[in-house]
Amino acid sequence: NKSSDMFSLGVIIFQLITGHHPYEADSEEAMIDKIKKNKVSEVPDWNENHRPTTKMILSHDTVLMYLRSCEDREQSKKEKIEALNERDLLIQERNGLQSDKERALAERDRERIEKDRLQIELNRERIEKDRLQVDLNREKIEKDQQKRRADSTQIEQDRQKKSKRILRIIIRLTTEILRLTAEISRHNQSIQSVPPSINPNMLAGIIHDKEHAYQEGLKIIHTDKWGRSTVAFNPIISSGIVRFGGFFERHSIGNFMIGIADSSAVFGSNEGLWSGEV
């Protein structure tokens, strides 16, 4: 406000005249206390021989602050001028870019027009090519239809030939099945008409050494699981046939053989069938 401005102006004038603050003290607290109590230093009497020099006035804090303020304003003006110059340069560059952009757009439009013209020409050529392809396809379709009609005739002829051939095969197989059925029936009747000559439960195996195998009822037990063993049977019949059958149970390698040998053959209990002596 007006009072504070007058106070500040009085302080400045006092400092210019005396060279020190009107409330100058040894510390900041003491200066504040003098301001509160209004203990203002007295202005000295006028003495023209003791006026402060220009250097002293220019080195005063208030004057220095004013000079700095002036320098700041000049610096601000320079910065504004530089900013305006930079803005003008940017405007010029932007105008130049705008011109370049307009030229680029014009060039792009020209290229687009040329591209559209070439595309129209290409489409015209493609349409002509498609028309020719349609004509070729029509001719191919007509030829394919003729070929399919010819193939259909050939397929029908082949189908009839195949049907006749299959029919002949069916007739031949049916005749063969009937013949085999009749033969099997006669064979079964002949087998059923032959009475057994001995009781199967009475068959006893010929085993030389029970360390290799032994018989337990109708079972032949292989004692030596890692060695060979041969068991022989010698059924005595006067007529008819002997039916011999059996099952292998819980074996590990499945190496089993069965056969008919002459009565003079001799087998070791720990030997294979091929080791028998006649």
Triad 68, 74, 79: Cα angle to 5°: 120
Determine the pLDDT at residue 104. Answer: 84
Q: Is residue 187 part of a domain?
A: no
Mean pLDDT of the residues in the chain? 77
Which pLDDT value is given to residue 278? 40
240 pLDDT tier (thresholds 50, 70, 90): low
- Between residues 225 and 85, the one the model is more confident about: 85
Residue 166 in domain: no
CA angle at residue 102 from 96 to 103, to 5 degrees?
A: 90
Q: Which of 35, 68, 89 is the last residue of a domain?
A: 89
Task: Report the percentage of the chain scoring pLDDT > 90.
Answer: 0
The domain boundary, picked from 89, 122, 144, lies at 89
Per-residue pLDDT, 144: 86
The conformation of residue 263, written as its DSSP 8-state character, comes to T
* Choice among 11-25, 174-188, 196-210 with the minimum mean pLDDT: 196-210
The Cα angle at residue 268 between residues 264 and 271, in degrees rounded to 5? 120
Rounded to 5 degrees, φ, ψ at 240 are: 85, -155
Of residues 266 and 81, more confidence is placed in 81
- When comparing pLDDT for 272 and 39, which is higher? 39
More reliable by pLDDT, 166 or 200: 166
| Averaged pLDDT for residues 214-238 | 77
* Torsional sign, CA 215, 220, 223, 228: positive
Pairwise CA distance, residues 273 & 271, whole Å: 7
Q: Per-residue pLDDT tens for 100-159?
A: 788 888 888 888 888 888 888 888 888 888 888 888 888 888 888 888 888 888 888 888
Q: Is residue 183 part of a domain?
A: no
pTM of the model: 0.27
pLDDT-above-70 percentage for the chain: 76
Count the Cβ atoms, other than its own, within 10 Å of residue 19.
Answer: 15
- For the beta carbon of residue 205, count every other beta carbon within 10 angstroms: 13
Under a CB-based contact definition with an 8 Å cutoff, are residues 30 and 13 in contact?
Answer: no
For residue 179, the model assigns a pLDDT of: 86
Look at residue 46 in the predicted model and tell me its pLDDT: 59
Compute the C-alpha angle 259/264/265, nearest 5°: 45
Tell me the residue type at 131: R
* Structural domain count of the chain: 2
In a domain, 126, yes or no: no
Q: Is residue 130 part of a domain?
A: no
**How far apart, in whole angstroms, are the C-alpha atoms of residue 90 and residue 102?**
18
Q: Please state which of the ranges 114-118, 127-131, 197-201, 239-243 shows the lowest mean pLDDT.
A: 197-201
Average pLDDT over residues 31-58: 71
- Find the range with the poorest average confidence among 82-91, 171-180, 200-209: 200-209
Range of the domain at 59: 2-89
> Would the pLDDT of 231 be above 70?
yes
pLDDT tens-digit series, residues 60-73: 666 677 677 778 88
Domain-terminating residue out of 57, 89, 121: 89
User: Token pair for residue 42?
Assistant: 């007295």
Q: Is residue 233 part of a domain?
A: yes
User: Longest Cα pair distance anywhere in the chain, in angstroms?
Assistant: 179
234 inside domain? yes
What is the per-residue pLDDT for 176?
87
pLDDT at 255 (0 to 100): 67
Residue 200: the pLDDT is: 53
